[in-house]
Amino acid sequence: MRTRNNIKVVPMRPSSAKLTSKLIRKVISGLEIYNVRARRVEMSKYTPVGLTQMQAEDESSVMIAILEKRPVGFCLSRYDDGVIWLAWFGVLGDCRRMGVGAALLEALERTVPRRKCHKIWCDTRASNLPSQRLLKKVGFRRLCKLAEHWYGQDFYLWEKFVR
């Protein structure tokens, strides 16, 4: 599926689970807005085996953004009782501000009808201003602040209804 700026967003193939896991670890390891414990635990969740299992359960749960034949971003989501939980989206540092994050979120939104859902929800670190700006730009609404929540850090919850 083609999106803006010649960015292609596709479901992960099982054969690329190892490469996808490395991409996720690379992005998360560089996010200083998360404490060390949060980065360590989050990176451990997305092993090649774990990603392959996610994809087997829901083909839209692991999506990869490709720019000039290079994987540069990812979007991880899951079906959760009629809504989609957006667990993560991330982009390599040298590819940020090129529309990759927006392309990932737009591609995720296109999966909602076939997943028989009506809404996407997610969280952001309260200090993650770039993600907050992007979520607002693509139509998400901030719901509330969770003080000292996951990993003892502050987060905002977001939602977007998809018609």
Cα 69 to Cα 27: distance, rounded to the nearest angstrom? 18
Residue of 81, 65, 152, 74 whose CA lies nearest to 121: 81
Asked if pLDDT for residue 135 goes beyond 90, the answer is yes
Q: Where are the beta strands (DSSP E) in 3-162?
A: 7-11, 62-67, 70-80, 83-91, 119-125, 141-146, 155-161
Q: Give pLDDT, residue 163.
A: 83
Cα 145 to Cα 160: distance, rounded to the nearest angstrom? 16
Range 98-124 average pLDDT: 96
Range 105-111 average pLDDT: 97
Q: Give pLDDT, residue 145.
A: 97
Range 111-134 average pLDDT: 96
Percent above pLDDT 70 for the chain: 97
Where residue 4 falls among pLDDT bands split at 50, 70, 90?
A: low
Q: Give pLDDT, residue 1.
A: 45
Q: Give pLDDT, residue 148.
A: 92
The pLDDT tens digits for 41-72 are 999 999 999 999 999 999 999 999 999 999 99
CATH of domain 4-161: 3.40.630.30
Contact 155, 124 (CB under 8 A): yes
Range 146-161 average pLDDT: 94
Asked if pLDDT for residue 141 goes beyond 60, the answer is yes
Average pLDDT along the chain: 94
Contact 66, 72 (CB under 8 A): yes
